[in-house]
A = this chain, B = another copy of it.
């Protein structure tokens, strides 16, 4: 049985092209792959035959021989979560530019599923895998090293055992603290996701923020560290209660994620507290909506675009080199940017 995509008209093979062009299949292969010089006149003749027969290389055969697929895997928690959705978008775009296909697999951030990514049957035929892990630890990464080319691409999770590209979320968190302090805020609070799900994802920015405050001699009281559930948080009543933002002395709020920040904005508005006049708010992620909220949200752009771009480049590079070449794990850090918008604007 022929491939599904090829049923219609029996597809042309190298052999057909060779016959039509009056050369050997070797020559056709050379023309197609451009790996070996071919005389111009021959090339033209072959090209014509290819054109005429609408020849397309059979990927499976090529793969069977060469081991390359031009397919990469992208494993992430869930395309529904803003940060990962935007990572997916960027990876897809970067891969497209390089004429590679992307197989997407969702892990739901589940530890077991993340662990089994490199051995997943769904990813068995890929050249390399971009893994946006949120639950794995260094131990897991060590176990994974030495398998297929693998690049870690979360904003926060990095490793010494395998390639990783991340944002320096610690520095970003510290930068948020500095920004808040620089605009005259002195009594900040933090909102973080309560479900300890995906702790690694939020840890860096949290510690960075605390460090930034500590630099200025500020320590947060327990009551100014609020934990809440990201999703439930969306419902305003719940958020208001959770937030206890009746705390009147708080003059700045760092929400560890944009969704959290957006929820806070709504809640504060409903509660009659003015942003940024009474209270500055900063998020993290620079998701699309953050530019359209009321007021628009100051946030950190963790450089998802750049992370994606680099991750794809790293994979491509690893794949390029043959098994022989041992390249030690590389760690690459992408620049974050603090996007200043209305929610922290200095007023009157």
Contact = CB atoms under 8 A, between A and B. Distances in A.
A66 B103 contact: no
Interface string A266-291: 10001000000000000000001101
Contact of A1 (B67, B100, B126, B266): B67
A242 to B, nearest CB: 14
Interface string A31-59: 00000000000000000000000001011
Interface in A79-105: 79-80, 85-86, 88-89, 92-93, 96, 99-105
A5 B147 contact: yes
A263 B292 CA distance: 9
B294 A126 contact: no
A207 interface: no
A266 B60 CA distance: 52
Given A79-B88, A85-B79, A85-B80, A5 B125 contact: yes
Interface size class of A (residues with CB under 8 A): 35 or more
Given A1-B322, A63-B60, A86-B80, A99 B121 contact: yes
A104 B106 contact: no
A182 interface: no
A1 B294 contact: no
A319 B85 CA distance: 29
B4 A59 contact: no
A295 B178 CA distance: 36
B127 A4 contact: yes
Number of copies: 2
A79 B304 CA distance: 15
A147 to B, nearest CB: 6
A103 to B, nearest CB: 5
A105 B92 contact: yes
B122 A99 contact: yes
A1 B102 contact: no
Contacts of A149: 4
A142 to B, nearest CB: 14
Contacts of A231: 292
A64 interface: yes
Interface in A116-144: 118, 121-128
Contacts of A80: 85-86, 89, 288
Contact of A56 (B89, B124, B147, B294): B124
A8 B125 contact: no
Nearest to A146: B8
21 contacts: A1-B67, A2-B67, A2-B323, A4-B148, A4-B319, A6-B67, A7-B323, A78-B89, A79-B88, A80-B89, A85-B85, A92-B105, A93-B106, A96-B105, A99-B121, A99-B122, A103-B103, A103-B104, A235-B292, A236-B294, A263-B292
